[in-house]
Structure 1
Amino acid sequence: MPRYCFRLTLTLFLIATGTGLLFAQEIATPKYPVKKDSSAADTGQLDAGDVYNLLFRKNKKKAPKSRKSGSLVLLPSIGYTPSTGFEFGADVSGTRYLGEPENTTLSVFDAYAAVSTNELALIQLTHNIYTARNQWNIQGSYDLGKTVVLDRGLGTGREVPEAIPIRYTYIRLSENIYRNLFPNFYAGAGLAFNYYTNIDEELDDPESIKTHNYLYSVKNGYPVNHYFASGLLINLQYNTRDQPYRPYKGLYVDVILRANQKWLGSEKNALQLKTELRKYWSLSAKNPEQVLAYWLWGSYLLNGSVPYLELPGTGSDINQRIGRGYTISRFKGPSFFYNELEYRFPITRNKLLSGVVFLNMETANNQNNIKLFNYWEPGTGAGLRILFDKHTRSNLCLDYGIGNYGSNGVFVGLNEVF
């Protein structure tokens, strides 16, 4: 299989509430929806919707819309990766304010389904609900799919000449509820239920091939072709970002303690600590889009063990965008640490086009002689941004990244990587 990852999503059609032109990627609805940036229209910014209106809707007036009214958008899309082949899907996304827009974040409901030429399939339902005055936040994700990853085993610091594809079917269910305790600070709890089955079922004799999943599962006492990982979640979150899609300033910290339990169906008990930090500095008062951004993401196994396909690694964040320059799951281990620095800057005066340069580093351990932080795998690259909606700051991202061992690729998505 090629040592690169290429993902391109093309929106073919959208019917909704007069939005105009949309681009979309086949990823989960962002975890924290946005409030509109009402000042954008007064700064001379031009977005994809403006371009569309200039070209096709010169004499058409938009109907007035209530600030509390919702929306429903259909987003058919086409995607491609070396692992999945061509992917054809459709995304239905709905939004609504459950309180006054002045003090309540927009709630989002999303349904996505896709099939690919490599006989892979996905159904995903997500919701992110904010009650009036943001007193409660309810987040849920329900995934069912059949997929493939290019597997190269555990740990960093090792060049593996050939990847072994792992095909499997999965069900992932999670539900979290947060309570706003004081300004910018939330605490919550939840449940996660993950099931993996039909792992490597197409292989004639998995035991003789000795895949990484097989060796790890035998060593740690897991079934080789199916397993459960279900647990309790305790979450603490602090968020001062001015906007989650494309922040100019602020700090975001999320700490999750996950306890897999046999009485919930897990094969083994395990305790994991997951941490995330995002920090943004605006470098110019005249051009606040000129931003230095830092991202730290870590998952640490404190006790017990987790199944092979649950191990954290490249692409383990909610939108699978950790590690530009490498394929998903290129590096992984019982514990995994990642950090990235990105510089963002406008290119055109009307802010329709902007650019980024980035540098990232990741490290993972294994169960033998490789310890966390022993070896680092770097990735670097640059990208172009096309402003999709100036009010929500959402944009289309096109990045080219390179990494170690000849790894490189083009990565396309909606909204900033972090």
Structure 2
Amino acid sequence: MRFQYISNLNLNKAFERGLALLFVLTVGMQYTYGQTKPSIDSLRKDSISTQYDVGDLFNSIFHPKRKASTLGKKSAVTIIPNVAYNPSIGAQIGIKAVAGKVLGKDSNTLMSIAATSASITTKGIIYFYLNHNVYTPGNKWNLQGSMVAARTVVPDFGLGIGIAATGSEADLILSNPERKGYVLKAEYYNFREKVYKQILPSVFVGAGVSFDIRRNIEVSGDNDLTPYNIYSDRYGFDRDQYQSNGLLLNVQYTTRDNQNRAYKGIYADAGIRVNQTWMGSTKSAVQITTDFRKYWSLSERNPEHIIAFWNWGSYLLSGALPYLELPGTGRDTYYRSGRGYTVTYFKGPQYFYSEVEYRFPILRNKFLSGVTFFNIQSTNDELGTKLFKKWQPAGGAGLRVLFNKATRTNLCLDYAFGNYGSKGLFLGLTEAF
């Protein structure tokens, strides 16, 4: 889950300065480290023993006489409390775990990862999820899936990118140019599973299914003129409940050296989703989604100096999607895009997102590291605003704490800010991308 606080500051000038600073940092680091071509594969595995993570800190405090764990004995499971606070959800308490393991003895097999979390809040929100990304020995098969059961509270700021629609009063409310906040409550159930088969080195083709079910939907406000109600009535969706169920077809290319925190490589996935009424979907729809990530290590000696790039997009080709299933801020697979805004702050049938991040070590033992990042997003609203007509930026910086050096798992603490006075702290286990 994502957490943030909102104030009423105009930060356009800060964005310009932030973008300029990020550009200087990027170019500067490329110049400094570009004289030596990175060769991360040449690093010895026992270099991990020089790193220091939370497990080492725990042992140094409670078991000072115990010898440091070797890589072979290091647990691949990271468990932490999931504690947070947000005015929309209240105080939250729960537990979260992330695991990573290479299956089989083939040295080329990619690491398999899984994560789960269960939490409850003082406002009665309950959230449980379980997801996995598993590579069989030799990468012959790749299984990706997730399961969610939740009682959710979703902030809503209307359709589109923040441009006022011309037309009726309902059009203006739906486009919500002032980004007035609403709250949507619902029961949410999701099951998604995709199975990929390797057909060429690093190339996979896959197919699967996705079921998204929302029930008992409640909208804040004293009248029917809310963005959710207006959209649902126009496109023929029941205000109280719906299903969005479909078939998935994907092509994936990956050369990342680690799924949790890559030092180098590429990840690319392009897929088509076909929602079908015979599968129980309220409406039929055809949607294309793309996900591209590229990582450049800037130093052979310190491969943690990284420039990372991410592009995520989703484009409706035909049919209609339910309001809460529209692509938008934070609607990627792991809800990590758009730091600086709440989930679905901007959304529409066509959505485009890009982000660049600079990652760097702070301490020599890699226990602490940092990041700076900048992102932009654009969407349409089917009320006159086209995709790429207007961009909304965000940016920020963050601190990383090494939780598990064997799987390169970090605890991520980011402070980000965007337009409309949007800003706040974002917590997560493993990198945003």
Q: TM-score range by the shorter chain?
A: 0.7 to 0.9
Bigger mean CA deviation after superposition, 208-217 or 130-139: 130-139
Q: Once superposed, what is the RMSD of the aligned Cα atoms?
A: 2.7
Q: Is 1:409 the counterpart of 2:424 in the alignment?
A: yes
Match of 1:231 in 2: 246
Task: Tell me the TM-score normalised to structure 1 length.
Answer: 0.84
Structure 2 match to 1:56? 62
Between the two proteins, the alignment pairs up a number of residues equal to: 383
The alpha-carbon deviation at position 48 of structure 1 amounts to: 2.3
1:149 aligns with 2:154: yes
Is 125-134 or 89-98 further displaced after alignment? 89-98
Cα distance in 1 for residues equivalent to 2:399 and 2:101: 31
Q: Deviations over 1:348-373 (max 9, x none)?
A: 22222221111100111102111111
Alignment of 1:300-379 (within 5 A): 300-379=315-394
Return closer, same or farther for 1:268/1:407 CA change in 2, 3 Å cut-off.
Answer: same
- Name the CA shift for 1:99/1:232 in 2 (closer, same or farther; >3 Å): same
Pick one of 297, 300, 303 that aligns with 1:282. 297
Cα deviation code 1:18-62 (max 9, x no counterpart): xxxxxxxxxxxxxxxxxxx96263673322222222222222357
1:256 to 271, 274, 277: 271
Q: Secondary structure, in 3 states, of the residue corresponding to 2:313?
A: strand
Determine the C-alpha separation between the residues in 2 that align with 1:73 and 1:48: 10
Question: What SS does the corresponding residue of 2:66 show, helix, strand or coil?
Answer: coil
Note the alpha carbon deviations across 1:371-404, whole angstroms, 9 max, x for none. 1111100001111112222232221211111100
Instruction: Looking at secondary structure, tell me which structure has more helix per residue.
Output: 2
Match of 2:121 among 101, 116, 120: 116
Q: Which residue of 2 aligns with 1:192?
A: 210
Report SS of the residue matched to 2:217. coil
Task: Say which is worse superposed, 240-249 or 288-297, in terms of deviation.
Answer: 240-249
Q: Which residue of 2 aligns with 1:222?
A: 237
Classify 1:342/1:40 alpha carbon distance in 2 versus 1 (closer, same or farther; 3 Å): farther
Alignment CA distance shift 1:190-1:264 (3 Å): same
Q: CA contact under 8 A between 1:41 and 1:390: conserved in structure 2?
A: no
> Is the counterpart of residue 170 in structure 1 residue 170 in structure 2?
no
Contact preservation (8 Å) 1:41, 1:391? no
Deviation at 1:266, TM superposition (A): 1.1
- Conserved? CA contact 1:70–1:96, under 8 Å: no
Q: Cα 1:344–1:125, aligned 2, differ >3 Å: closer, same or farther?
A: closer
- The corresponding residue for 1:179 is 197
Q: Give the equivalent residue in structure 1 for 2:257.
A: 242
Alpha-carbon distance in structure 2 between the residues aligned to 1:273 and 1:146: 28
User: Kindly, what percent of the aligned residue pairs are identical?
Assistant: 45
Change (3 A) 1:293 1:141: same
Q: Is the 8 A contact 1:46 1:387 kept in 2?
A: yes
Shift in alpha-carbon separation, 1:402–1:201, aligned structure 2, 3 A? closer
Contact 2:49 2:70 in 1 (8 A): no
Query: Secondary structure, in 3 states, of the residue corresponding to 2:427?
Result: strand
Q: Which amino acid aligns with 1:3?
A: I
Amino acid paired to 1:167? K
In 1, distance between residues paired with 2:243 and 2:216? 13
- In structure 2, what is the Cα distance between the partners aligned to 1:151 and 1:399? 22
Moved more, 332-341 or 133-142: 133-142
Rounded Cα–Cα distance in structure 1 between residues aligned with 2:398 and 2:119: 27
Alpha-carbon separation, structure 2, partners of 1:148 and 1:63: 42
Q: Pick the aligned partner of 2:281 from 251, 266, 270.
A: 266
Distance change >3 Å, CA 276–CA 386, structure 1 → 2: same
AA matched with 1:225: D
Q: Secondary structure at the match of 1:139?
A: strand
User: By how many angstroms is 1:107 displaced?
Assistant: 4.4
- Report the secondary structure of 1:53's partner residue: helix
Give the 3 Å change call, closer, same or farther, for CA 332–107 of structure 1 in structure 2.
same
Going from structure 1 to structure 2, the CA distance change for 1:38 and 1:231 (only over 3 Å counts) comes to: farther
Partner-residue secondary structure (3-state), 1:333? coil
Q: 2:236, 2:92 → 1: CA distance?
A: 35
